[in-house]
Structure 1
């Protein structure tokens, strides 16, 4: 596995979630209106939870922290979001499916050599 390509993939996959999660947290009231229109209960609470999940998940992928578990969680999140929020929007649905695929590949390959998890492993056995 090429560690530079895995790092580049982690960066590219994480950016959308870091930016989107931050945006949802600072604009939670607006996002909660969208969630309310979809029929979600407690839309403001849900807006903060989704924003935090996206931001923290994106940062974990970027840093290479618990990548396999976080990548699986984000893949499931992408599929659920695609079905629950983007079923009638073909481009958004396909984007979410593609992101889920990227996260599953990342879960299979792991974080690569340039990751917090790798650094923690090496320092533990040094």
Structure 2
């Protein structure tokens, strides 16, 4: 019996406690990430003209179709993320969406607010990719 290696092994109580903390933090993280998109999606309801006009103003094609796709993504994927159903797929979709939004709508680095929005979108994408990589945790429909 090697006391050094035995001391390095976590006890069952510590492991269980750490797992509960990690799963709780994973749930909190999913809810916080999802809230950003869900609120944005709800706020877009009924705003076809304004949002489509904004999409068209940056030169993207099919602005009305992109409006409806964005609305669906910003409402459905966050709900999936919150409940932890196919959370990895929802996180990847929202992460890619965040990067695309940064590139198409916030790439004017002469404007400090746009640069900050660009970096925030990338940071949010990073958090979402953590969910995709490590899973939603035990407190989810996917259970890890």
Shift of 1:57: 0.9
Shift of 1:3: 0.8
Q: Pick the structure with greater CA Rg.
A: 2
Q: Deviations over 1:64-110 (max 9, x none)?
A: 01111211121111111111111111011011000010001111120
Deviating runs (4+, > 4 A) in structure 1?
Answer: none
Q: Which residue of 2 aligns with 1:124?
A: none
Please list every run of 5 or more consecutive structure 2 residues that lacks an aligned counterpart in the other structure: 1-18, 109-113
Please list every run of 5 or more consecutive structure 1 residues that lacks an aligned counterpart in the other structure: 122-126
Root-mean-square deviation (CA), in Å?
1.4
Higher helix share: 1
Matches within 5 A, 1:20-59: 20-59=40-79
Q: What's the TM-score, normalizing by structure 2? A: 0.78
Q: What's the TM-score, normalizing by structure 1? A: 0.88
* Separation in structure 2 between the aligned mates of residue 26 and residue 4 of structure 1, nearest angstrom: 35
Q: Name the SS of the counterpart of 1:112 in structure 2.
A: coil
Shift of 1:48: 1.2
Which structure has more relative contact order (CA 8 Å, sep 6+)? It is 1
Query: Which residue, out of 126, 129, 136, partners 1:104?
Result: 129
Q: Which residue of 2 aligns with 1:117?
A: 142
Q: Name the SS of the counterpart of 1:26 in structure 2.
A: coil
